């Protein structure tokens, strides 16, 4: 049962701004929470009115086939069904839809999670290298990154421009609305008191956020397995290396 009644919570912070920890804490509050949904991304235009071009980030028959194969592995649930089934939402693609979500759910809580530019770029550099390997990101993940940042590889200028633009647009859109707040990861805003006050939850509920998803590094074997899959001629060879790395416990 949603402790906030019929009010939903949308985390509008982009990748690497504490969204995993935030989602985990919402779960502990009893909210049915979605964190990072490729299925929702595939159906983003149900709410965005064909604003986004959802497709393979690479050209060529092989990559189109591989992309469609990934798409078929996703659930068939519609975006609107996901929004109705769950109480809280964090990470991509939901931050991209803040305007549409605010219109559809005017009484929801909207939280922008953020951090300083320098530490965010450092964290994104990890995400697009070691994180990309450890979490086995594929073409669908790359497509979502392209839509969010204009790139799925590390490009500090392009990434920072997209990050700053998104954050400022969200701030301007919500202004001083009492249904909106910003939590800054590196300024102690992920505290019990601030969240309790914003969500209207008793302080003794203890909803402070513990940091999660700290950076760790991919092993050579897992890197080889992952990046071999980026080259069509080595696709099937990469499957063998991936199985070997998995047996050794080097990748999930």
In a domain, 85, yes or no: yes
Q: How many helices and strands (H and E) does the chain possess?
A: 13, 5
- pLDDT band per the 50, 70, 90 thresholds, residue 230: low
Read off the CATH number of the domain in which 18 is found: 3.40.50.300
- pLDDT band per the 50, 70, 90 thresholds, residue 251: very low
**H-run or E-run covering 80:** helix 79-85
In a domain, 135, yes or no: no
The pLDDT, as a whole number, for residue 218 is: 55
Please state the pTM of the whole predicted model: 0.83
- What residues have CB less than 8 Å from 13, skipping those under 6 apart? 19, 22, 90, 91, 95, 111, 112, 113, 114, 183
The pLDDT, as a whole number, for residue 215 is: 56
Over the chain, what is the mean pLDDT? 85
In a domain, 168, yes or no: yes
Minimal CA–CA distance to 148: which of 5, 126, 183, 140? 140
Minimal CA–CA distance to 89: which of 163, 155, 2? 2
Torsion, CA 170, CA 176, CA 180, CA 186, rounded to 10: 70
In a domain, 250, yes or no: no
pLDDT at 129 over 70: yes
pLDDT digits (tens, 9 = 90+) for 136-167: 899 999 999 999 999 999 999 999 999 999 99
In a domain, 81, yes or no: yes
DSSP assignments along 145-181, one per residue: HHHHHS-SS--HHHHHHHHHHHHHHHHHHHTT-TTEE
User: Between 156-174 and 139-149, two packed helices, what is the crossing angle to 10 degrees?
Assistant: 60
In a domain, 244, yes or no: no
pLDDT at 240 over 80: no
Minimal CA–CA distance to 196: which of 218, 181, 184? 181
**Number of folded domains that form the chain:** 1
In a domain, 30, yes or no: yes
Enter the tokens of residue 132.
């990309």
In a domain, 224, yes or no: no
Residue whose pair of structure tokens reads 């920890």 in the numeric block: 21
- Average pLDDT on 73-79 reads 91
Minimal CA–CA distance to 12: which of 186, 214, 212, 168? 168
Residue 109 sits in which domain range? Answer: 9-123+154-215
């Amino acid at each position: 049962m949603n402790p906030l009644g019929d009010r939903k919570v949308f985390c509008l912070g982009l990748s690497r701004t504490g969204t995993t920890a935030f989602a985990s804490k919402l779960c502990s509050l009893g909210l049915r929470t979605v964190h990072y949904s490729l299925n929702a991304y595939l159906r983003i235009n149900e709410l965005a009115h064909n604003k986004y071009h959802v497709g393979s980030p690479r050209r060529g028959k092989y990559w189109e086939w591989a992309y469609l194969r990934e798409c078929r592995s996703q659930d068939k649930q519609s975006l609107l069904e996901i929004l109705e089934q769950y109480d809280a939402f964090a990470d991509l693609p939901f931050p991209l839809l803040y305007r549409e979500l605010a219109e559809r759910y005017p009484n929801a809580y909207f939280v922008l999670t953020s951090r300083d530019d320098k530490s965010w770029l450092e964290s994104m550099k990890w995400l697009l290298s070691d994180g990309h390997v450890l979490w086995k990101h594929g073409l669908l993940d790359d497509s979502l990154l392209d839509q969010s940042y204009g790139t799925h590889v590390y490009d500090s200028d392009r990434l920072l421009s997209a990050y700053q633009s998104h954050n400022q647009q969200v701030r301007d859109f919500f202004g001083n609305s009492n249904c909106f707040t910003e939590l800054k990861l590196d300024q102690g805003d992920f505290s019990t008191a601030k969240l309790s006050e914003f969500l209207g939850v008793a302080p003794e509920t203890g909803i402070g956020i513990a940091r999660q998803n700290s950076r760790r590094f991919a092993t050579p074997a897992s890197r080889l397995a992952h990046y071999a899959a980026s080259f069509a001629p080595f696709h099937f060879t990469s499957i063998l290396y991936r199985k070997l790395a998995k047996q050794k416990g080097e990748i999930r």
